[in-house]
Amino acid sequence: MSGASQMSACPACVAAPAAEAIAARNVKDASIMLSLPGIHCAACISAVERALNAEPGVTAARVNLTLKRASIKAEPEVTPARLINLLARVGYEAHELDAGMLGSTETDRRGRALLTRLAVAGFAMMNVMLLSVAVWSGATEATRDLFHWISAAIALPTIAFSAQPFFTSAWGALRVRRLNMDVPISLAIILAAGMSVYETMQSGEHAYFDAALSLTFFLLAGRYLDHRTRSIARSAAEELTALEVPRALRASGETVAVAELAVGDLVRVLPGARVPVDGVVLDGESEIDRSLLTGESLPVAARASTAVSAGEVNLTGALVVRVSAAGKDTSLHRMADLVAMAETSRNRYTSLADKAARIYAPVVHLLAFAAFGGWLWASGDVRLALNIAVAVLIITCPCALGLAVPAVTTAASGRLFRAGMLIKSATALERLAEVDTVVFDKTGTLTRGRPELTNLADFSDEDLSVAAAIAAGSAHPLAQSLVEAIRAAAIEPVGLSDLREVPGHGVEGRWQGMAVRLGRAEWLGAQAVSTTATYLKIGDREPLAFRFADSLREGAAEVVAALHKQRKDVVLLSGDAPEAVADIARRVGIEAWEAQMLPADKAARIAVLAKAGRRVLMVGDGLNDTAALASAHVSISPASALEAARVVSDIVLLGSSLAPIAEAIAVAKSATLRIKENFAIAALYNLIAIPVALAGFATPLAAALAMSGSSISVSLNALRLTRR
C-alpha cells in the first residue's frame, strides 16, 4: 500500500501487542494484563469477563472499569495474542500491558476514607445537636452535665477519627516549620473540643462539641468535593512504560526478557507483534505501523537496512532485527521519561486557594493570639480570654475559603460533564481560563483517523468487484476502507484464486486467468498520485488509483472558528506529511501548522511557546502526543484516545464532537471569576465577623453558626455556574 499522507489511529491500538504467541509459550508467568481503552460500563465488564472466562485455558478473569484493565490467570499455553484476538471478535480493543512495570495503583481508597469520615462526622453532629437542644431548652446542673458528658463521649472519638486529614496535614506542615490552611483548622477544632471538655469538667453552662463537629463536617465536605475533582488514577509515564514489550524472541528461537538483550543481538519480530527494541532490519520484508510514536498511521515499508523503534507494530511479514537499543535506552522509554519530566514541571502550578492560604493562615493565628493576650490583660480571666480566642479561631476558620474552589470546580465540572467533558485535575479550570494558544494534533483529533475513499464513482462495477475481492485479503487500513466503501455501494466481490499477501508491497491473486495486484505504486509500475492512494492492476490494464482522504471530526471547523472568535491563536502540529497537514489546516481554518513532527518535537514546540509567555492548551489523542499533553499548560484528549494520552490529560472529551472545547474555555473563565468572588465573600464575612469575635460578642457556638453561613453563601454563588 502507498500514500503521500499518513493517518494516526489504530492498527497499533488493536494489533499493538498481538501475535507474541511463540514468545509467550516459553514464559512461566501465566498472569496476563490487558488494557481495555474502549470499555465504559457494567455491560462491557460483563461481556469481556464472559468472553475471557469461556476461553479454554483461562482460569480467572476480572475487569477493573476504573483502570480499564483486565487481569487474567491462564494456563501457560494461553497467549496474550489469543486473548486480544478473542476480544477483538466480540468488539473490544485490547492490548497487553507489562504488569511488572505498573505501580500498585489504589482504586480510590482516599476518596472512600474521606466519605467515611464525612458520614461519621455528620451522624455525630446531628446526635450532639439533639442533645444540645435539651441544654438550650433549659436543662440545668446534673441533667445539663450529663448531656455534656454524653456529647463528649460522642464528639471526642468522632473528632479523633474524622478530623485526621486536617491533623495529619497540619502536623506535616509544622514539622518543616511552615503554615498551611490545615493548621488554623486543626487548632480551631482541637481548642473547641478542649474548651468544651474543660467547661464540662467545671459544670459550665456552655460546651461547644456541636461547634467542633460542625466545623469538622463542613470542612470534610469541602475536602471531599475537592477530591472528587481529581480522577487521575496513575502517571501517564508509568502507563507508557507498561506498554513496552516485556519479552522478545531471539533469532535462534529462544524467548528472553527484553532486559537481557544487548546491542548487536538479533531478534525476530513476528507479524502483528510490537517491535521490542530499537534496531535495524537485517532480513525480511513487511510494513510497519508507526502511529504509536509519530502519528503516521499509514504503514511504511520495512526491508533490509530500515530502522525500526520499540513500540512500532509489524503488520505483515516476519523481520529479523539487529538491536541498537533495548530497555531503558529505547525511544519509547525516552518518551516516558519526557512525559514524567513534563508532568513534574506542570505539577508546580499553585492553585488560587493555596496562594490565599499562605497569607490567610498566619493572619488567623496572630488575631487569635492577640485576642487571647488582650482579653487576658484586660480581664485577668484565662477562661474568658480562651473562649474569645477560640471564637476568633472558629469564626475566622477558612471553611468558606476551603469551599471556595471545590464548590466552584464541582459546579463547573457538572456543567461541562453535561456538555460532554470530564474534568480530571483540581487546577485544570484555573489553567484553562488562562489559555491564549490552542495546539491541535491532526489525526484522531481534528480528523477521525480513518481513510475514506473519495473517487468511488470513477470506476466501473467490474473494477470495484475485483478491488473488493483482492482488498479483502489484506489487513492494511486502506484495503479495509476500500472493502467497506465498495460493500456500502452494494457491489459484490468476484471470486479470486491464489490470493496471497506480499509483505511490504500489497496483495496479489488471479482472476479469469489474469494476475491481479493491489498495493504500492512502485510494485505495480504505476505513477504515484499526490494524495493518499492504493493502486489496482488487472492483467495488462493500466493501474487504477483509489484515492483516500481523512474525514474531519465532528465540530472541528466549528471549534476553530469559535476559538478565533475568542481571540485565541490556533496551531496544528502533526507527524503527518506536509500535504496532508496543509489540507486539513485549510479545511478547518488554521493558518499556523507544522508537519512531520516527532513526539519530542511537539513537546519542544510547546516549550518554546511557553518560554515566550504563551499559555498553551494542547488537544491530542495518541502516544505520540503524550509528552506534548504533559508539557502544555493544560491538555484535553478525546475519549477515543489511547489510554496513556487520556491519563496525562487534564480534561477528557467524552463525545465525538470537538465543539465543547470552546465552551469549556468560557466556563473556565467564569469559574475563575466565581472563585475570586467567593474569596471576596469570605473576606467580607471576616471583615464583619472578626471585630464581633474580638469584642467578645460571639461564643464559639455562634462563631460556628456564622462560619456555616459563610460556607452556604459560597456554595450558592458557585451554583450560579450551572446556569447557561
The mean pLDDT values, 10 residues at a time, for the chain of 724 residues are 37 35 39 74 77 90 74 84 84 68 51 88 88 70 84 93 89 76 78 84 79 81 63 44 71 83 90 85 86 63 86 84 85 64 47 60 76 86 80 67 67 77 76 92 82 87 92 82 89 89 85 90 83 88 88 89 93 84 90 86 90 92 80 85 73 82 90 81 77 76 66 72 65
Counting every residue written for the chain, the total comes to 724
pLDDT at 618: 94
Cα 18 versus chain centre, distance: 25
Residue in this structure with the C-alpha cell 496483495, named with its chain if needed: 507
Asked, for residue 527, whether it belongs to a domain, the answer is yes
Asked, for residue 67, whether it belongs to a domain, the answer is yes
Q: What share of the chain is helix, strand, coil (3-state, %, to 5)?
A: 50, 20, 30
Q: Residues 441, 583, 621, 650: which is the catalytic one?
A: 441
In whole angstroms, give the CA distance from residue 62 to residue 48: 9
Residue 404, C-beta contacts closer than 8 angstroms, at least 6 positions apart: 353, 675, 678, 679, 681, 682, 714
pLDDT at 367: 80
In whole angstroms, give the CA distance from residue 310 to residue 383: 72
In whole angstroms, give the CA distance from residue 526 to residue 537: 9
Asked, for residue 300, whether it belongs to a domain, the answer is no
pLDDT at 15: 34
pLDDT at 465: 93
pLDDT at 517: 93
CA atoms within 13 A on the CB side of 545: 16
Take residue 134 and report the three cell numbers written for it: 435539651
In whole angstroms, give the CA distance from residue 15 to residue 313: 7
Q: How many domains does the chain have?
A: 2
Residue 576 designated active-site: no
pLDDT at 451: 81
Asked, for residue 507, whether it belongs to a domain, the answer is yes
pLDDT at 616: 94
Asked, for residue 31, whether it belongs to a domain, the answer is yes
CA atoms within 13 A on the CB side of 473: 24
Reported in sequence order, the residue ranges of 197-275 that DSSP labels E, i.e. its strands, are 247-250, 255-257, 266-269
In whole angstroms, give the CA distance from residue 630 to residue 143: 62
Asked, for residue 373, whether it belongs to a domain, the answer is no
For residue 313, give the H/E element and its range: strand 313-314
- The residue from 486, 518, 551 where one domain ends is 551
Please count the other Cβ atoms lying within 10 Å of the Cβ belonging to residue 314: 29
Identity at 330, one-letter amino acid code: T
Q: Write the CATH number for 542.
A: 3.40.1110.10
Asked, for residue 618, whether it belongs to a domain, the answer is no
pLDDT at 351: 55
- The residue from 105, 124, 153 where one domain ends is 105
**DSSP assignment letter at 535:** E
Dihedrals φ, ψ of 181, to 5°?
-65, -25
pLDDT at 322: 93
**Angle in degrees, CA 269, 274, 276, rounded to 5:** 70
Cα 550 versus chain centre, distance: 26
Asked, for residue 607, whether it belongs to a domain, the answer is no
Strand, helix or coil at 546?
strand
| Pairing assessment for the beta strands 247-250 and 319-325 based on DSSP bridges | unpaired
Q: Write the CATH number for 81.
A: 3.30.70.100
In whole angstroms, give the CA distance from residue 625 to residue 597: 10
Domain that holds residue 91: 21-105
- The residue from 90, 105, 120 where one domain ends is 105
In whole angstroms, give the CA distance from residue 155 to residue 142: 20
pLDDT at 268: 92
Cα 246 versus chain centre, distance: 24
